[in-house]
């Protein structure tokens, strides 16, 4: 049992979001004990995992005590009352430092909560800290964090994935019940796959981006990292919905997905499309991962799903289009880091010019991957190249979008691998940016098309026993159906017998 | 029919690509670094120039896509902008606005003197 | 053949909203540095723009008033450059798909009606303010103005002289004020003008243009354009070539100067703003705003002329400022006073304006006093106030401390009535004639212009309150006896 494997000697067993909320509401456990246990697990594992950039011990315990006091006073409790959650460092929490994994923002504390954070607080969640990430969410391994990488709980010599690697590692190791990440090209789903947890990216526009550091605005979306689909639904339900502070947030009402998942339904009548480009024709796909995905497809079929092959002819161009669009937007989004109003400013000799202040501050503050992407995006937008690179990529983006729209007319969801490989050793691709970009091959298209997508653990890799992620992509704004399908798969899969976190490196 | 090798990571990483000349690489990096106001150490410029060449060679594959009549896609969906009412509210105030700033004077941000 | 100027104006007008274009911070002018800022207009990480609905409505109104087509779908773009008063490192503006396109503005000039076409009008955010000379520490940056809503009205190069340009800009300002789009205050920067200037010989292609930045008064517009045309002519006459440049107007030394040239050409790397979806403007809204469009200044002036015979120059001055024009019409009302409209218009733009300029009174104070001023004007026109009495009333009232209307009432009471009654005038007339018997003799000898001397003497003794015609009549009567 996954949860049993996560229990720490002397500490309460780690429970999920839903389970914890129920236990606290029922008075079976006190919120302050849950918070203390989460903090104790952080103490025990954090040295190995480096999942956090900031832990708010005092704030977490105080918030938990307020929940206990409210309960004693008979006040109504929020749906997440007392549930300890962590927040990726891209997301503003008033009073907690925010770095976005960058030296550029070291020492900066945002004045206001992000909307998603305010909503978690309103639901009663206990915020335990900020999780590690690739700098400005640019990376697929967490090795681009200016503060050192998170490590994979299943094998500490391996990457946790990225960019929400800290959140995935923390969730897998039971450091809190789950948390929020951001997903621009797979940054929630891929680390979730590599760490063996559920990573859920809702439709672009479904969750407010207000207070979330922008990487690529038209692709960024806040998502959840949890140990179950039901937990994902619970966090998602708390944060989703339109926000007057984000003009791209969608006014459509949000269905209460959490209530929908109380029992696993079978998949009779559900049509699932398997993109041939993601499986049969994907020769970069690890053989063991392919095997587990094919087994998962068989499981889905056994549950009654109509599993069929579909084709997305333009997804082969997804990576190229994605890396031009995201870097172009990032080059503009990151211009605000100029050493004037907040963040790092270079120490310069008196008489230094404004331009040297900009260039030196930015040269010192940004790490190599951020510079690489800013330069690429600047180039893609620059005079003489804009049409051939940026505009062309936006046109291809539409073709990718239309491929998905066509496939999702005949299918309720698409299914395939999340990552072509399992967690790789730290450093394996650190000096090869293009190799790292190609790891996002299965995830970026959902961002280009703006669709909801979710990674759920399949059976572990047959050779390495490392986690393998199965990805579902759904119709725009139909998160409810996507969660139902993933939940049914999760139930059919049964518990995963995985080694305890951090066991491998001992 | 889709060619089978298109997702081959190996072929992309180690296959042939058009390496632009060193001079144009250096010029290109210097130009975009200047536009982006990022100072690069020489070895950093060389590394990033090399990376940029490879990435740009890779994205050349987009040229193969016929996009003649394709409207560029900027956002997912086709809904219009939601507007806010013209209601004023107090902001942060000068003290909070400048709290994280590296240099301030009298509630203003300070930068090296700009002429004109 | 002579050289001719070719001028197109680009006008930035601050929209009359309460809050900024993308955040709720107030747009009030003159607050302490950075007092009116929030994460959005400071460009904090994670802050997102949310468009102000009123800014859109006002921009549509401007477009309708200038006969533009209103785009039902427009879009925002990012214009990228680094400058300390541009917090995000990009300005949100509209480049490829502006809200209003086409349109024109006709102005009457001495040479006839000049049509200045409008290329487009777009919405954008203002930058903050860099203060260069206030501190030894360096340039100070105040972001209160950052995010103020602007429209940029881009005129075609249809104007041919500095005077045309001023007339066009003045009419544009009157329209923006009449429609409530912009307060038109050039000193506070609510209305700012850049001029694209070139010269050519008629029927030849346009020459190379220079853009002159930051013309913050009508005088600056006129002088800068006139000097720039002269400069370009001189360059060409001397065998030189006009370089495409951005130049600044140096008002103190009456010349334009090139801005410090950057080592790189500007590359703004425009691309669509991903944080804002396309702006959809419903045809119903456009129709609603079109129906609600107020009478524009040109129509108002024509109506005043047709109905009341108000002279064009006075009407133009009054219609520069719709609040003044409204107060003028309210004061006249629908009653018999309308007969006085032309005289009242001349009175307000003449004596009243002169007195106002010498005083410290506000426009609002004067506007509120227009009904009383109409009474003053009527008395004066009907001869119930002499010129001297009128001057005294205005001087006393404008110099008083209370509201102008009250001060005028007081001054009218104090100055009393004009003396017309022959019986009342007779002692003074007789005394003057007795004192100047020699002059009376000259008159009787046929030197009639002496009559003016006697009128002056009598009026002086009456403190200016005598009815000049009655005095003259009585004097003639006595002298002819
Ligand atoms: Mg402009
Ligand atoms: Zn603001």
Residue A434 has its nearest CB partner, among B2, B58, B62, at B58
- Does residue B13 have a pLDDT over 50? no
Verify whether the Cβ–Cβ distance A341 to B101 is below 8 Å. yes
Report the DSSP pairing between strands C210-215 and C245-250. parallel
Which helix (H) or strand (E) element contains residue C199?
strand C191-200
Query: What is the spatial distance between Cα C469 and Cα A470, in angstroms, rounded to a whole number?
Result: 107
Q: Which residues pair with residue C193 across a beta bridge? A: C11, C215
Kindly give the distance from the C-alpha atom of residue C144 to the centroid of ligand 2, in angstroms, as a whole number: 8
User: Which residue from C402, C84, C56 is spatially nearest to B101, judged by alpha carbons?
Assistant: C84
Query: CA of A336: which chain C residue's CA is closest?
Result: C88
- Positive or negative, the CA dihedral B86, B92, B93, B98 is negative
Verify whether the Cβ–Cβ distance A360 to B39 is below 8 Å. yes
Verify whether the Cβ–Cβ distance C45 to A338 is below 8 Å. no
A364 vs C: CB within 8 A: no
Rounded to 5 degrees, φ, ψ at C212 are -105, 125
Kindly give the distance from the C-alpha atom of residue C152 to the centroid of ligand 1, in angstroms, as a whole number: 6
Q: Which residues contact C401 (CB under 8 A, 6 or more apart)?
A: C407
Query: What is the spatial distance between Cα C111 and Cα C159, in angstroms, rounded to a whole number?
Result: 12
CATH class of C422-480: mainly alpha
Q: Which residues pair with residue C160 across a beta bridge? A: none
Structural tokens at position C115: 């049509």
Asked whether the beta carbons of A34 and A84 are under 8 A apart, the reply is yes
Query: What is the spatial distance between Cα A46 and Cα A52, in angstroms, rounded to a whole number?
Result: 7
Interface test with A, best of C46, C52, C142 (most A CBs within 10 A): C46
Kindly give the distance from the C-alpha atom of residue A337 to the centroid of ligand 2, in angstroms, as a whole number: 18
Q: Which ligand is nearest to the CA of C268?
A: 1
C367 CA: distance to closest CA in chain B (Å) = 29
Residues 328-367 of A with CB under 8 A from B: 331, 335, 338-345, 348, 351-360, 362-364, 366
* Domain extents in chain A: 31-506
Residue A328 has its nearest CB partner, among C39, C47, C271, at C271
> Which residues of chain C does A331 touch, with a Cβ-Cβ cutoff of 8 Å?
80, 269
Query: What is the spatial distance between Cα A293 and Cα A73, in angstroms, rounded to a whole number?
Result: 50
List the alpha helices (DSSP H) in A10-72. 17-25, 31-49, 57-72
C446-451 long-range Cβ contacts below 8 angstroms, 24+ apart: C451/C475, C451/C476, C451/C479
A271 CA: distance to closest CA in chain B (Å) = 23
Kindly give the distance from the C-alpha atom of residue A118 to the centroid of ligand 2, in angstroms, as a whole number: 20
Query: What is the spatial distance between Cα C328 and Cα C373, in angstroms, rounded to a whole number?
Result: 10
> Which residues of chain A does B26 touch, with a Cβ-Cβ cutoff of 8 Å?
none
> Which residues of chain B does C131 touch, with a Cβ-Cβ cutoff of 8 Å?
108
- pLDDT (tens digit, 0 to 9) for every residue of chain C, 481 residues total? 578 999 999 999 999 999 999 999 999 988 999 999 999 999 999 999 999 999 999 999 999 999 999 999 999 999 999 999 999 999 999 999 999 999 999 998 888 999 999 999 999 999 999 999 899 999 999 999 999 999 999 999 999 999 999 999 999 999 999 999 999 999 999 999 999 999 999 889 999 999 999 899 999 999 999 999 999 999 999 999 999 888 999 888 888 888 865 444 579 999 999 999 999 999 999 999 999 999 999 999 999 999 999 999 999 999 999 999 999 999 988 666 778 999 999 999 999 999 999 999 999 999 999 999 999 999 999 888 888 889 999 999 999 999 999 999 999 998 888 888 888 888 988 898 889 888 888 888 888 888 888 888 888 888 888 888 888 888 888 888 7
Residue C140 has its nearest CB partner, among B37, B75, B110, at B110
DSSP string, C77-141: EEEE---TT-TTSEEEE-SSS-SEE--EEEEEETTEEEEEEEEEEEEEE---EEEEEEETTEEEE
Structural tokens at position C40: 């959005």
Residue A205 has its nearest CB partner, among B67, B77, B111, at B77
Kindly give the distance from the C-alpha atom of residue C153 to the centroid of ligand 2, in angstroms, as a whole number: 24
Rounded to a whole number, what is the distance in angstroms from the first to the last CA of chain A? 21
Q: Which ligand is nearest to the CA of C144?
A: 2
Q: What is the pLDDT of residue A271?
A: 98
B99 CA: distance to closest CA in chain C (Å) = 11
Which helix (H) or strand (E) element contains residue B22?
helix B22-35
A31-506, CATH topology level: Amidase signature (AS) enzymes (3.90.1300)
Query: What is the spatial distance between Cα A156 and Cα A150, in angstroms, rounded to a whole number?
Result: 9
Q: Residue A503, by phi and psi: left (phi above 0), alpha (psi -120 to 50) or beta? A: alpha
SS (H, E, C) C213-226: EEECCHHHHHHHHH
Query: What is the spatial distance between Cα C25 and Cα A411, in angstroms, rounded to a whole number?
Result: 47
Per-chain residues with Cβ under 5 A from ion ligand 1: C 152
Query: What is the spatial distance between Cα A246 and Cα C74, in angstroms, rounded to a whole number?
Result: 19
- Does residue A500 have a pLDDT over 60? no
Residue C80 has its nearest CB partner, among A92, A217, A335, at A335
Rounded percentage of chain A residues whose pLDDT exceeds 90: 88
A222 vs C: CB within 8 A: no
Verify whether the Cβ–Cβ distance C45 to A332 is below 8 Å. no
Asked whether the beta carbons of A473 and A404 are under 8 A apart, the reply is yes
What count of Cα atoms within 13 Å lies in the side-chain half-sphere of residue C73? 5
- The sheet with strand C271-272 has its strands ordered as C90-93, C77-80, C271-272
SS (H, E, C) C1-57: CCCEEEEEEEEEEECCCCECCCCCCECCCCCCCCCCCCHHHHCCCCCCCCCEHHHHH
Query: CA of C265: which chain A residue's CA is closest?
Result: A383
Asked whether the beta carbons of A374 and A366 are under 8 A apart, the reply is yes
Residue B76 has its nearest CB partner, among A281, A339, A401, at A401
Asked whether the beta carbons of B111 and C310 are under 8 A apart, the reply is no
User: Which residue from A174, A98, A86 is spatially nearest to A136, judged by alpha carbons?
Assistant: A98
* Domain extents in chain C: 4-285, 297-415, 422-480
> Which residues of chain A does B113 touch, with a Cβ-Cβ cutoff of 8 Å?
354
User: Which residue from A144, A327, A480 is spatially nearest to B52, judged by alpha carbons?
Assistant: A327
What band does B7 get if pLDDT is binned at 50, 70 and 90?
Answer: very low
Q: Which ligand is nearest to the CA of C38?
A: 2
* Pairwise pLDDT comparison (C459 vs A411), residue with the higher score: A411
B115 vs C: CB within 8 A: yes
Q: What is the pLDDT of residue C415?
A: 85
Asked whether the beta carbons of A211 and A243 are under 8 A apart, the reply is no
DSSP string, B38-74: ----HHHHHHHHHHHHHHHHHHGGGGGS--TTPPPP-
What band does A136 get if pLDDT is binned at 50, 70 and 90?
Answer: very high
Asked whether the beta carbons of C433 and C479 are under 8 A apart, the reply is yes
List the alpha helices (DSSP H) in A80-198. 115-122, 165-172, 189-195
- Does residue B21 have a pLDDT over 80? no
Kindly give the distance from the C-alpha atom of residue C184 to the centroid of ligand 2, in angstroms, as a whole number: 23
Verify whether the Cβ–Cβ distance A375 to B52 is below 8 Å. yes
Query: What is the spatial distance between Cα A157 and Cα C413, in angstroms, rounded to a whole number?
Result: 99
Report the predicted TM-score, pTM, of the whole model to 2 decimal places. Answer: 0.92
- pLDDT tens column, A202-234: 999 999 999 999 999 999 999 999 999 999 999
Query: What is the spatial distance between Cα A340 and Cα A346, in angstroms, rounded to a whole number?
Result: 10
> Which residues of chain C does B87 touch, with a Cβ-Cβ cutoff of 8 Å?
18-19, 24
* Pairwise pLDDT comparison (A4 vs A489), residue with the higher score: A489
> Which residues of chain C does B86 touch, with a Cβ-Cβ cutoff of 8 Å?
17-19, 52-55
Asked whether the beta carbons of A265 and A412 are under 8 A apart, the reply is no
Verify whether the Cβ–Cβ distance B51 to A450 is below 8 Å. no
ipTM exceeding 0.85? Answer: yes
Q: Which residues contact C368 (CB under 8 A, 6 or more apart)?
A: C327, C403, C404, C405
Q: Which residues contact B55 (CB under 8 A, 6 or more apart)?
A: A323, A376, A433, A434, A437
- Does residue A275 have a pLDDT over 50? yes
> Which residues of chain A does C279 touch, with a Cβ-Cβ cutoff of 8 Å?
none
Asked whether the beta carbons of A241 and A494 are under 8 A apart, the reply is no
Q: Which residues contact A268 (CB under 8 A, 6 or more apart)?
A: A303, A304, A305
Name chain A's partners: 3 or more CB pairs within 8 A.
B, C
Residues 47-106 of B with CB under 8 A from C: 74-75, 77, 79-94, 97-98, 103, 105-106
Active-site residues of A: which are they? 88, 163, 187
Verify whether the Cβ–Cβ distance A379 to B52 is below 8 Å. yes
Query: CA of A376: which chain B residue's CA is closest?
Result: B52
Residue B4 has its nearest CB partner, among A281, A314, A356, at A281
């Amino acid at each position: 049992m996954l949860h049993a494997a996560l229990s720490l000697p002397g500490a309460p067993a780690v429970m999920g979001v839903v389970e914890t909320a129920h236990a606290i509401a029922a008075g079976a456990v006190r919120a302050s004990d849950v918070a203390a246990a989460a903090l104790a697990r952080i103490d025990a594992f954090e040295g190995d995992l480096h999942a956090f950039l900031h832990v708010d011990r005092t704030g977490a315990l105080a918030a938990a005590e307020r929940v206990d006091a409210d309960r004693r006073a008979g006040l109504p409790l929020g749906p997440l009352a007392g549930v300890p959650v962590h927040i990726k460092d891209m997301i503003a929490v008033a009073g907690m430092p925010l770095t976005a994994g960058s030296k550029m923002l070291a020492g900066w504390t945002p004045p206001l909560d992000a909307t998603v954070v305010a909503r978690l607080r309103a639901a009663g969640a206990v915020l335990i800290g900020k999780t590690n990430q690739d700098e400005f969410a640019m990376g697929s391994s967490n090795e681009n964090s200016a503060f050192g990488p998170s490590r994979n709980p299943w094998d500490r010599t391996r990457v946790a994935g990225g960019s929400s690697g800290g959140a995935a590692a923390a969730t897998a190791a039971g450091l809190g019940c789950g948390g929020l990440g951001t997903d621009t090209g797979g940054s929630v789903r891929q680390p979730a796959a590599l760490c063996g947890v559920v990573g859920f990216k809702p439709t672009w526009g479904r969750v407010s981006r207000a207070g979330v550091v922008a990487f690529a605005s038209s692709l960024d979306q806040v998502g959840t990292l949890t140990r179950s689909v039901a937990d994902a639904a619970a966090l998602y339900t708390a944060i989703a919905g339109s926000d007057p502070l984000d003009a791209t947030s969608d006014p459509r009402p949000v269905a209460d997905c959490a209530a929908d998942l109380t029992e696993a339904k079978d998949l009779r009548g559900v049509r699932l499309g398997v993109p041939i480009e993601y499986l049969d024709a994907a020769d970069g796909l690890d053989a063991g991962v392919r095997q587990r995905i094919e087994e998962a497809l068989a499981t889905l079929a056994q549950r009654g799903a109509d599993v069929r092959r579909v084709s997305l002819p333009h997804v082969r161009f997804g990576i190229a289009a994605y890396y031009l669009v995201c870097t172009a937007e990032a080059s503009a989004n990151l211009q605000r880091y100029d050493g004037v109003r907040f963040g790092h400013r270079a120490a310069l000799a008196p008489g230094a010019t404004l331009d040297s202040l900009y260039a030196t501050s930015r040269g010192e503050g940004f790490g190599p991957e951020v510079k690489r992407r800013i330069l690429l995006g600047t180039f893609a937008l620059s005079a003489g190249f804009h049409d051939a690179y940026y505009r062309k990529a936006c046109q291809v983006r539409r073709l990718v979008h239309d491929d998905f729209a066509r496939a999702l007319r005949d299918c309720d969801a698409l299914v395939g691998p999340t990552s072509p490989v399992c967690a790789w050793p730290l450093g394996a691709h650190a000096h090869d940016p293009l190799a790292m970009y190609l790891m996002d091959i299965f995830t970026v298209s959902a961002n280009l098309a703006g669709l909801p997508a979710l990674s759920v653990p399949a059976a572990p890799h047959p050779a390495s026993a490392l986690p393998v992620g199965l990805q579902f992509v759904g119709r725009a704004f139909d998160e409810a159906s996507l969660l139902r399908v993933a939940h049914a798969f999760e139930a059919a899969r049964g518990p995963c017998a995985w080694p305890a976190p951090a066991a491998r490196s001992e | 029919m889709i060619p089978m090798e298109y997702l081959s990571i190996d072929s992309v990483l180690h296959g042939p690509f058009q390496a632009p000349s060193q001079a144009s690489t250096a010029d290109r990096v210097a130009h975009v670094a200047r536009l982006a106001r990022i100072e690069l150490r020489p070895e950093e410029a060389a590394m990033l120039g090399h990376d940029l060449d490879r990435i740009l060679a890779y994205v050349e594959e987009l040229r193969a896509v016929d996009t003649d009549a394709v409207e560029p896609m900027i956002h997912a969906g086709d809904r219009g902008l939601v507007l806010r009412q013209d209601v004023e509210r107090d902001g942060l105030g000068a003290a909070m606005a400048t709290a994280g700033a590296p240099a301030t004077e009298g509630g203003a941000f300070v930068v090296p003197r700009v002429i004109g | 053949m002579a050289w001719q100027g070719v001028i197109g104006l680009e006008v930035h007008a601050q929209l009359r909203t309460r809050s900024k274009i993308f955040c709720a911070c107030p747009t009030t002018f003159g607050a302490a540095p950075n007092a009116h800022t929030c994460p959005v207009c400071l460009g904090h990480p994670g802050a997102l723009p949310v468009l102000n609905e009123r800014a859109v409505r006002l921009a549509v109104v401007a477009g309708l008033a200038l006969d533009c087509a209103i785009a039902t779908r427009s879009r925002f773009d990012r214009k990228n450059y680094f400058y300390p008063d541009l917090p995000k490192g990009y300005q949100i503006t509209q480049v490829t798909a502006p809200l209003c396109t086409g349109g024109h503005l006709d102005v009457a000039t001495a040479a006839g009606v000049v049509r200045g076409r409008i290329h487009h009008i777009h919405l954008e955010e203002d930058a903050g303010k860099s203060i260069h000379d206030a501190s030894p520490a360096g340039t100070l940056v105040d972001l209160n103005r950052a995010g103020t809503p602007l429209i940029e009205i881009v005129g075609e190069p249809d104007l041919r002289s500095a005077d045309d340009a001023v007339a066009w800009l003045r009419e544009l300002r009157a329209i923006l004020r009449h429609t409530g789009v912009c307060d038109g205050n050039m000193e506070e920067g609510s209305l700012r003008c850049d001029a694209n200037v070139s010269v050519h010989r008629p029927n030849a292609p346009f020459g190379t243009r220079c853009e002159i930045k930051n013309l913050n008064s009508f005088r600056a517009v006129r002088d800068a354009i006139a000097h720039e045309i002269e400069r370009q002519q001189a360059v060409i006459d001397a065998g030189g070539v006009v370089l495409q440049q951005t130049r600044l107007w140096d008002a103190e030394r009456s010349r334009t100067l090139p801005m410090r040239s950057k080592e790189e050409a500007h590359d703004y790397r425009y691309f669509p703003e991903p944080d804002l979806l396309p702006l959809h403007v419903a045809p119903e809204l456009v129709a609603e705003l079109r129906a609600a469009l107020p009478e524009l200044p040109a129509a108002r002036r024509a109506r005043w002329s047709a109905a009341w015979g108000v002279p064009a120059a006075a009407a133009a001055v009054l219609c520069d400022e719709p609040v003044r024009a409204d107060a003028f019409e309210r004061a006249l009302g629908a009653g018999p006073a309308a007969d006085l409209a032309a005289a009242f218009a001349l009175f307000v733009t003449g004596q009243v304006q002169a007195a106002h300029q010498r005083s410290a009174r506000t426009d609002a104070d004067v506007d509120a006093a227009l009904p009383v001023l109409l009474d003053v004007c009527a008395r004066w026109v009907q001869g119930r106030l002499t010129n001297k009495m009128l001057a005294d009333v205005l001087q006393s009232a404008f110099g008083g401390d209370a509201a102008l209307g009250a001060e005028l009432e007081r001054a009218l009471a104090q100055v009393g009535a004009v003396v017309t009654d022959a019986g009342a005038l007779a002692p003074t007339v007789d005394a003057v004639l007795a004192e100047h018997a020699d002059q009376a003799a000259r008159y009787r000898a046929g030197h009639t212009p002496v009559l003016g001397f006697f009128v002056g003497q009598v009026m002086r003794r009456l403190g200016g309150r005598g009815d000049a015609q009655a005095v003259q009549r009585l004097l003639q009567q006595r002298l002819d006896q």
